[in-house]
Structure 1
Amino acid sequence: MFRTFALVFGGLCYLLSSAVLAYYLCWLGGFLVPKTIDSGAAAMPGGTALAAALLVNALLVALFFIPHSILARPRFKAWWTGIVPAPIERSVYLLHCALAMAAMMAGWQALPAPLWQLGHPLAEALLWGGFAFGWIFMLGGAFSIDHLELMGLKQVAYNFLGAPLPPQPFSTRWFYRVVRHPIALGHLLVVWCHPQMSLGHAFYAALATAYVLYATYRLEEPDLDQAFGENYAAYRRRVPGLVPLLRPRR
């Protein structure tokens, strides 16, 4: 009974998280969705209303980013799987991320005052190109490693079949030959590359950038060092972290 439940639950969490991620990218880009980062009732450009909007937005971002990092840490997962069965641990993680991201987008306070608005076709094309490359790096990074394991489907499938989950190998293929963190690089491109940058968009991009840098270098890389040892250390010496073609620091 649990095997069937886990399989269905994992599949639903995968579909929900994929749909929310697609909405998130359109929310940032400002197209195809009813509510974007700059739509809705705008806060006044000064005074307490602006401060309140910034505070609300910062709390919404923290609601997503802070648990997103805590739930992914090996020590937390070792404790958490004593409560949540291991086959659905990743699916529960995806469910939380999807709900937190949806809440952030729904509650976001629009601050549409423009910081820059490019009118030159070439400049607009370059920024939209960067936005598209962000999509490519995010999706390509996810599929360069074991996408099914990353999204929790492999865990519930092996559990349904009654087979042990094989260990996750150390992989440096495709996008991971360019940078060590292609998903993080793609996220940075997506949040910053837009020809019409508003105050609210820039505020979110700044918070997202601070989170990406901290989570990547202070949380994820130490975990990878511990998990893969010298294999990851050698990989880190030859492949840059976030900036392609930038020689890694020894």
Structure 2
Amino acid sequence: MFGRILSFLYGIVSYVIFLGSFLYAIAFVGDFGVPKTINSGPEAATLWQALGINVLLLGLFAVQHSVMARDGFKRWWTKIVPSHVERSTYVLLSSLVLILLYWQWRPLTEVIWSVDAGLWSALLNGLFWLGWGIVLATTFMINHFNLFGLRQVWLYIKGEEITPLEFQEPGLYKYVRHPLMLGFLIAFWATPTMTLGHLVFAIATTGYIFVGIWFEERDLVRYHGEKYKEYRQRVNMIIPSPKEN
């Protein structure tokens, strides 16, 4: 029983660290309210040094996030880490890599575009918050607590079997296959002032998102077979489509 309690506490701590890193991400990308943002902090000596550091940080997150999500890695990893805390460990390590990115990011403050008009600036700010709202809402549509490892440690402490979730089309998933990624894309690109550093961040994360979708859909077809193939033919990947009757 003591091991179950420790596992549950581990899951809670991992989730709290994730929540902090997620909230910080909003302020980091939005360039407000925190000591270190995408456009603030110590600058690198040269443009190429800054680009190298930033690309390395983004690449580290992409590799960690993608490799640890693959079935082959999970089969090896769960020989070391108990399966009921595998997701919490993934969430924790992803959060720590994000924190490293926030800490070591080198700003590139050359302005690519700036929207000063009140209406258009307000629209872009509104889209920024809409994007993050979609991200958060989507996590609850697909079981927020399973996504971030809390369901697994809760079932373990109760002594119940951890079963996979069935394929469903809740909420926004009726209109777009990857609303979570759509939310991130909106949040990363919607800004009244696009600096070079922010542009590098947006381009790199956009590329990673589409690569990640390719890997994820390959796994989903393997898990759900014809059901997901039919869903993929019927619903657009990123651009929302009207729901068919």
TM-score range relative to shorter protein:
over 0.9
Aligned to 1:211: 208
- The alpha-carbon distance between structure 1 residues 221 and 26, as it changes in their structure 2 partners (threshold 3 A), is same
Aligned to 1:29: 30
Matched residues in 2 for 1:66 and 1:25: separation?
Answer: 22
Aligned to 1:194: 191
Q: Residue 234 of structure 1 is aligned with which of 213, 227, 230?
A: 230
1:175 matched to 2:168? The reply is no
Kept in 1, the 8 Å contact 2:175–2:242? The answer is no
Matched residues in 2 for 1:220 and 1:188: separation?
Answer: 17
Aligned to 2:119: 122
Aligned to 1:112: 109
Kept in 2, the 8 Å contact 1:140–1:175? The answer is no
**Alpha-carbon deviation of 1:178?**
2.1
Q: Residue 93 of structure 1 is aligned with which of 78, 90, 93?
A: 90
Kept in 1, the 8 Å contact 2:44–2:50? The answer is yes
1:42 matched to 2:43? The reply is yes
**Alpha-carbon deviation of 1:245?**
2.4
Kept in 2, the 8 Å contact 1:42–1:112? The answer is no
Aligned to 1:223: 219
Matched residues in 2 for 1:229 and 1:179: separation?
Answer: 19
TM-score (norm 1): 0.94
What secondary structure is seen at the aligned counterpart in 1 of 2:113? Answer: strand
Count of aligned pairs: 242
Seq. identity, % = 38
Matched residues in 1 for 2:146 and 2:242: separation?
Answer: 30
1:72 matched to 2:69? The reply is yes
Kept in 1, the 8 Å contact 2:68–2:90? The answer is yes
What is the RMSD of the two structures over their aligned residues, measured on CA atoms? Answer: 1.3
Matched residues in 2 for 1:144 and 1:229: separation?
Answer: 22
What secondary structure is seen at the aligned counterpart in 1 of 2:156? Answer: helix
Aligned to 1:9: 10
Aligned to 1:137: 134
Per-residue Cα deviation, 1:31-55 (whole angstroms, up to 9, x for no partner) = 12111100013346xxxx1001100
**Alpha-carbon deviation of 1:166?**
2.6
Matched residues in 2 for 1:117 and 1:241: separation?
Answer: 30
- The alpha-carbon distance between structure 1 residues 25 and 213, as it changes in their structure 2 partners (threshold 3 A), is same
TM-score (norm 2): 0.95
Matched residues in 1 for 2:164 and 2:205: separation?
Answer: 31
Kept in 2, the 8 Å contact 1:240–1:246? The answer is no
- The alpha-carbon distance between structure 1 residues 130 and 222, as it changes in their structure 2 partners (threshold 3 A), is same
Matched residues in 2 for 1:174 and 1:221: separation?
Answer: 19
Per-residue Cα deviation, 1:117-140 (whole angstroms, up to 9, x for no partner) = 111112112211211121121111
Matched residues in 1 for 2:38 and 2:175: separation?
Answer: 30
**AA aligned opposite 2:230:** A
Matched residues in 2 for 1:88 and 1:42: separation?
Answer: 38
- The alpha-carbon distance between structure 1 residues 229 and 98, as it changes in their structure 2 partners (threshold 3 A), is same
